[in-house]
Structure 1
Amino acid sequence: MRKTLAAGAIAGLALAAGFAAPAQAISATTADLSVLHAIPDTPVDVYVNGALTLDDFQPGTLAGPLDLAAGSYDIAITAPDAADASAPILAATVELAANTSYTAVAHLSEAGAPTVTPFVNDTKTTAAGEGRLTVRHVAAAPAVDILAGGSPVVEDLVNPKEATLDLPVGTVSAAVALAGTTDPVIGPADVAIQDGVLTVVYAWGSAADGNLALATQTVTVGHTVPGAVISGTAGYAAQRDATTQGLWAIGFAALAGAVVVAATAIVRRSRGAKHTV
């Protein structure tokens, strides 16, 4: 039996495509790609450009993100342990534009037919103190409303569409209900809205089969106050820390110098006073 790619799935996809795989490293020549398996009860193998990439890929599993050169990639999804990609269950060609983040989702259409939809992740910066929430309908189900705290915030979302909101940092109690109703068919579930982070929630599965579920993905996008985004001791943060430390050192040196000068002046005045007595 072929080796199952679990922890090594990301490295495997990058190797099959011929590139290294730093996460979310989009640039003027590269894009990043994640893959979500959202077809219930159907483990699959995934081939990229004819090479086996994900072996025994399980429903509800997200692989990636992978840093790939911009260009065209052929994705073939086959039954588990297929000999090759010559008889796919699904096949799609994904065009990756530079400086863009994508998620390719294998899912069911509203009518229940397997399909593949590539989504572009909204990586524009958010305002300070805000995060971004994107909800994607990839389930075999009619139009739905997205509820927050029991009230609809997104209405009449159909497969395979999405809706995006920028929200204050915090926790949102989210649920999915059939359009025009407030009786949840999925959830409610707590969704964390993080500062400068895109959180993607997928409604997937089949309403007829009673296996509707949620899957989540997060993508760091940053926000409009650079100082609040940078952390750690690498790159700009290290330069900032070094600069800050230098300013503190200068400040302490100046303070120490002032103390010495003041002390000297006091001593001199004291001696002068003694001589005048």
Structure 2
Amino acid sequence: MNARSTGAVLTAGVAVVLSATAVAPAFAQPQAAEEQATVSVLHAVPGLTVDVYAGDKELLPDFAPGTLTEPLKLDAGSYDIKVFKDGEGPKGTPAIEKTVEVPAGANATLVAHLTADGKPALDAFVNDTSKVPAGKARLTVRHVAAAPAVDVRAGGTAVFQGLENPEEAKGEVAAGTVSADVVLAGTDTVAIGPAKLDLAEGSNTIVYAWGSAADKNLALKTQTITGMHTAPHAVPAGETGLAVAAAHNQGITLGALSAGALLALGASGYLLRVRRRTDAS
């Protein structure tokens, strides 16, 4: 049960930033909550630390592989991304300089990763925040690794089959703990896992298979979105089985950033730097 993400794929680059240009006069003031988007960023390119810039302003310094940022509230609009290999910005040539769009009201994750044949790419996935039936949790799996098609198994049973990069698949499962692994499609050859996933009622647990099969660094990264309960909340979890739902993902793009979003991202980058300096001391 495959699903092709329609998120925009960049031809080069390794990480994500939202950069500033004046898009419209309305962006001079913060937008209402319903006109904003919730955006997280995942760096899933192994072995390459990057700096993310907005114009000449550094927003995410030393952005390391496997890092998932906290969700940010950003004004909807066009965003111009500039991404540099660590230490090469802002005067050098960016690895990515791309304009994309962030729609109002979306909850999205931007993922810098490798294509199936190992080339850097950027995909944007819209996260499903619709209500989850009582006693259930939503499980979403995204293939963003330099690897062939895979099957995703829960308790040894394939629940998502033939998943290709950069596809996603999702379904509903009884809330609780499930043991999951990733195998090469149509085989029992384990590529990643097994790993125990704690699936909370009313949540969407998103699992990213990332890394490179050739370099033997395939790994899982999880993201959890909560608050999608359907009353009544306290229903027994029951059996652990997936009811596979529609797996198509609506695409999202990035581009030039409003002043309010720049402030949020700038603060995020500053806090990352301060945290690293504190840890080092």
Regarding TM over 0.5, the answer is: yes
Equivalent residue for 1:33?
39
Structure with max Cα Rg: 1
Is 1:114 aligned to 2:120, yes or no? yes
The alpha-carbon deviation at position 219 of structure 1 amounts to 1.1
Is the Cα–Cα contact under 8 Å of residues 174 and 187 in structure 1 kept in the other structure? yes
Match of 1:70 among 35, 56, 76: 76
Equivalent residue for 2:151?
145
The alpha-carbon deviation at position 32 of structure 1 amounts to 0.6
SS at match of 2:204: strand
- Equivalences, count: 210
SS at match of 1:63: coil
Identity over aligned pairs, percent: 51
Is the Cα–Cα contact under 8 Å of residues 150 and 182 in structure 1 kept in the other structure? no
Relative contact order, higher structure (CA 8 A, sep 6+) = 2
Q: Distance in 2 between matches of 1:17 and 1:205?
A: 33
The letter of the residue matching 2:143 is H
* 1:180-229 Cα shifts (integer Å, max 9, x gaps): 0122110000011111111110000000111100011111241222777x
The letter of the residue matching 2:52 is V
Q: Distance in 2 between matches of 1:90 and 1:158?
A: 24
Equivalent residue for 1:181?
187
Q: Distance in 2 between matches of 1:17 and 1:148?
A: 46
Matches within 5 A, 1:123-202: 123-202=129-208
Q: Distance in 2 between matches of 1:73 and 1:142?
A: 32
Q: Distance in 1 between matches of 2:63 and 2:41?
A: 10
Equivalent residue for 1:249?
none
Match of 1:43 among 46, 49, 55: 49
Is the Cα–Cα contact under 8 Å of residues 151 and 182 in structure 1 kept in the other structure? no
Is the Cα–Cα contact under 8 Å of residues 16 and 53 in structure 1 kept in the other structure? no
Change (3 A) 1:196 1:50: farther
The alpha-carbon deviation at position 91 of structure 1 amounts to 3.5
Q: Distance in 1 between matches of 2:131 and 2:193?
A: 29
Is 1:61 aligned to 2:79, yes or no? no
Name the structure with the higher helix share. Answer: 1
Structure 2 stretches lacking a partner, 5+ long: 1-16, 235-281
Is the Cα–Cα contact under 8 Å of residues 151 and 186 in structure 2 kept in the other structure? yes
Match of 1:105 among 87, 111, 124: 111
Structure 1 stretches lacking a partner, 5+ long: 1-12, 20-25, 229-277
Is 1:82 aligned to 2:96, yes or no? no
Q: Distance in 1 between matches of 2:175 and 2:143?
A: 23
